[in-house]
């Protein structure tokens, strides 16, 4: 009786081999971002990346099947890093009010970890190509959508009478504009200046106590219950 062949063991996520593989992959993505910031998305070549990373084309081909594959993975890495920074800030401030947690999230988006000139240049390069590249649009929307949903949820808890989805869309758009301003603007404003402006946008939220919320709801009900004036133009048209 023959014994069964030994099963192939999967590589443990904590094994030195796996860690080295992940490290090299991130190094290649970092080198790609360096090249995109320097040469642009279209002009960046595998040779540029190889030279910048100090790795052979063969190693690059081991991790990425093509330049386009590497570009997709680079954008995913960039957007997930930003999402992770936002989520980490939100999770760490779980004991604070929803408004304060939003403030922490905004600070994370404009932190030195995620808001560097190189990363903004890479982000802007992908934004420019997203209009004609469905995969890039999908990556942007997937990652941005998660943050947008969390903003809406926190804003709705902070001010239950707020149009939270519209507020979340507005904040996302405002942050995009500020990040682009930091990249191409010639105003001398710093990352910290734009962070303050983004935090000021949160002033559209009115954090309410329960008593204030009840009073605001009662006022809204009274306004809705007011009779329409007899000389209202709409009634005149309907008659």
Contact by Cβ (8 Å): 85, 113: yes
Distance CA 143, CA 80 (A): 7
Contact by Cβ (8 Å): 62, 55: no
Distance CA 127, CA 171 (A): 18
pTM for this entry: 0.77
Is a pLDDT exceeding 50 seen at residue 237? no
The CATH number given to 67-207 is 1.10.357.10
| Burial track 28-44 (b if 16+ CB lie within 10 A, e otherwise) | bbebbbbbbbeeebeeb
Distance CA 62, CA 5 (A): 29
Is a pLDDT exceeding 50 seen at residue 174? yes
Residue 158 has a CB neighbour count (10 Å cut-off) of 21
> Counting beta carbons within 10 angstroms of the beta carbon of residue 195, is it exposed (0 to 12), middle (13 to 18) or buried (19 or more)?
buried
Name the fold adopted by 18-64: Arc Repressor Mutant, subunit A (1.10.10)
Q: How far is CA 167 from CA 196, 202, 206, 222, in A?
A: 18, 9, 12, 25
pLDDT in the model for residue 203: 84
Residue 201 has a CB neighbour count (10 Å cut-off) of 16
pLDDT in the model for residue 210: 58
pLDDT in the model for residue 224: 75
Q: How far is CA 77 from CA 119, 204, 207, in A?
A: 11, 32, 35
Q: Indicate the pLDDT class of residue 7, thresholds 50, 70 and 90.
A: very low
**At how many degrees (to 10) do helices 134-158 and 164-184 cross?**
120
Residue 71 has a CB neighbour count (10 Å cut-off) of 21
Q: Where are the domains of the chain?
A: 18-64, 67-207
Ranges 21-35, 48-62, 149-163, 174-188: which has the least confidence: 174-188
Phi-psi region of 188 (alpha: psi -120 to 50; beta: other; left: phi over 0): left
In this predicted model, what pLDDT tens digit does every residue of 178-221 receive, in sequence order? 999 888 877 788 899 999 999 999 888 877 665 665 676 677 77
């Amino acid at each position: 009786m023959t014994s069964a062949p030994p099963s192939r063991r999967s590589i443990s996520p904590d094994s030195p081999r796996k860690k080295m593989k992940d490290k090299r992959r991130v190094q290649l993505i970092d080198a790609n971002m360096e090249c995109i910031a320097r040469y642009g998305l279209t002009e960046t070549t595998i040779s540029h990346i190889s030279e910048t990373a100090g790795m052979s084309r063969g190693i690059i081909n081991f991790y990425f099947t093509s330049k386009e594959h590497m570009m997709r993975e680079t954008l995913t890495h960039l957007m997930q890093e930003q999402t992770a920074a936002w989520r980490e800030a939100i999770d760490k401030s779980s004991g604070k009010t929803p408004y304060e947690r939003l403030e922490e999230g905004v600070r994370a988006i404009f932190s030195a970890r995620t808001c560097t000139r190189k990363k903004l240049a890479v982000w802007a390069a992908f934004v420019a190509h997203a209009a004609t590249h469905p995969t890039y649009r999908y990556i942007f929307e997937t990652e941005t959508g998660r943050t947008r949903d969390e903003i809406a949820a926190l804003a709705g808890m902070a001010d239950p009478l707020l149009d939270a989805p519209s507020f979340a869309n507005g904040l996302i758009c405002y942050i995009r504009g500020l990040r682009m301003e930091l990249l191409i603007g010639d105003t001398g404003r710093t990352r910290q200046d734009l962070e303050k402006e983004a935090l000021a946008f949160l002033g559209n939220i009115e954090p309410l106590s329960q008593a204030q919320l009840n009073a605001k709801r009662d006022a809204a009900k009274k306004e809705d219950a007011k009779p329409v004036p007899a000389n209202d133009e709409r009634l005149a048209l309907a008659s």
